[in-house]
Amino acid sequence: MNALELRNVKFSYGENAFAIENLNFAVKEGEFVAVLGHNGSGKSTLARLANGLLEADGGEIFVLGMPLEQKNLYEVRKNVGVVFQNPDNQAVASLVEDDVAFGAENVGLPREEIGARIDFALKAVGMEKERHATISRLSGGQKQRVAIAGVLALKPKIMILDESTAMLDPRGRREIIDVVLRLNKEEHITVILITHFMEEALLCGRAVVMNRGEIVMEGAPAEIFERHEELLTYNLALPRIGQICKGLREGGIAVEDTLDIEKLAEEIARCVS
């Protein structure tokens, strides 16, 4: 079954241009998908549409096979957890356990159940020792793990991380990626990772590229990153090796695009021999 499916979805913030234009996107249950795209391509709008924070102007959205309609909004919100970019804007309480409990309390779970869910969620993100800590004293990576725990306490089937590692240092980024990789593998949570870090996308099973509110590229992350010319047309930064390939071609050495250093060396040898 598809965890999430958007069919011909359109959305405009009210001005003339559509932020999402005829978007078709399906994610299977258990998948780990990267969503790439330059600023303004519609990635965050996609995340907000998927959990019912915004309502589409056209098309259909299905969450776990359920049409996203007003009467299903509660089920949708419970099943599609979104973690945003800035760890400092997400906390609603000052203590870790209160923050993690917040969403679960809001959906009216019984007290014992909430306690069990805090245990589960903090353990899942490796923060059980910080249960009684003050959030403002945590590192960025720890704060984002608390934000993830808050989403996890609702036991969602789908998690969307909207550039949730963008403001973190490399270590914090790695902490978050490790957590979501594990949640995908062990808890079978479907993960949609919106990111502009190539290394993160390479860890995903599949990647899509958005441009002007549509999906314009799709495939295995490594395949996508090898399509250097196409990436450039969508204003995406090339991987370092892509910049080298491009430079070589501009210098008259007609190498094929590749992500593999050894293959590039062979290409250069072929071209200059």
Ligand X SMILES: Nc1ncnc2c1ncn2[C@@H]1O[C@H](COP(=O)(O)OP(=O)(O)O)[C@@H](O)[C@H]1O
Rounded Cα distance between 158 and 245, Å, is: 37
Cβ at position 213, least distance to Mg ion in Å: 12
Is residue 45 within the footprint of Mg ion (CB under 5 A)? no
Nearer to Mg ion, 82 or 122 (CB): 82
Q: Which residue is nearest to Mg ion (CB)?
A: 44
Nearer to ligand X, 96 or 224 (CB): 224
The letter for the amino acid at 160 is I
**Helix H or strand E encompassing 34:** strand 32-36
- How many Cα neighbours within 13 Å face the side chain of 184? 23
Cβ at position 211, least distance to ligand X in Å: 9
Interacting residues with ligand X (CB under 6 A): 13, 19, 37, 39-45
**Torsion sign over Cα 187, 105, 165, 6:** positive
CA distances from 155 to 15, 17, 122 (A): 36, 36, 12
Backbone angles phi, psi at 202, to 5 degrees: -65, -20
- Pairing state between β 66-67 and 58-63: antiparallel
Nearer to Mg ion, 44 or 90 (CB): 44
16 binds, among ligand X, Mg ion, none (CB under 5 to 8 A by kind): none
Cβ at position 164, least distance to Mg ion in Å: 11
Nearer to ligand X, 32 or 84 (CB): 84
Report whether 173 contacts 197 (CB < 8 A).
yes
Taking contact as CB under 5 A, which single stretch among the options 41-49, 124-132, 146-154, 216-224 is the one that binds Mg ion?
A: 41-49
Among residues 4, 9, 44, 245, which is the contact residue for Mg ion, using CB under 5 A? 44
Q: Is 23 left (phi over 0), alpha (psi -120 to 50) or beta?
A: beta
41 binds, among ligand X, Mg ion, none (CB under 5 to 8 A by kind): ligand X
Cβ at position 255, least distance to ligand X in Å: 31
Please report, as ranges, the residues that interact with Mg ion according to CB under 5 A: 43-44
